[in-house]
Amino acid sequence: MLVLHAAWVLVVAMAISLVYEIWRATSKAGTSRHDSMQNLLGGSVLYGIAAVVIAILFADPAWAAWVGLLLCVAWIVYGIFVFNPVVMLERKPGIIDWVEDLVFMGLLFIAATLLLYEVLGWELQR
């Protein structure tokens, strides 16, 4: 059940992120080198990988939680050490940028926690 919840959290997180990146590539095109359709198409590989991992989580093989946890941790590390200090600052962020970043990263942490619980064999109590 935790894997299923994590999968849905990741669906929402990736949808928010993709809509945000499309908005940056269209409405904010040229603001930074990261705001273009070319950059969006290059990043589509990451969304493709995320879609495959989410599909694996929904299929729920025994190793799915590990794969999902790896994706979450990798994306969190990238967000903390690359996206926020480099990409975000080059974009001259406004309130929408910061809200999207906080929501996206928060959802990644929630999914990672659910998947870590699954990997450790822990359960949530009612």
pLDDT, tens digit (0-9, with 9 covering 90-100), for 43-75: 899 999 999 999 999 999 999 999 999 999 999
pTM over 0.85: yes
Judged against a pLDDT cut of 90, whether residue 77 lies above it is answered with yes
Residue 124: the pLDDT is 85
Q: What letters, b where the CB count within 10 A reaches 16 and e where it falls short, cover 85-103?
A: eebbeebebeeebeebbee
Judged against a pLDDT cut of 90, whether residue 126 lies above it is answered with no
Write the CA distances from 60 to 1, 6, 80, 118, integer angstroms. Answer: 10, 11, 29, 11
Judged against a pLDDT cut of 90, whether residue 21 lies above it is answered with yes
**Crossing angle of helices 95-120 and 64-78, rounded to 10°:** 150
Q: What is the mean pLDDT of the chain?
A: 95
Per-residue pLDDT tens for 97-125? 999 999 999 999 999 999 999 999 998 88
**% of the chain at pLDDT higher than 90:** 90
The angle subtended at Cα 86 by Cα 85 and Cα 88, nearest 5°, is 80
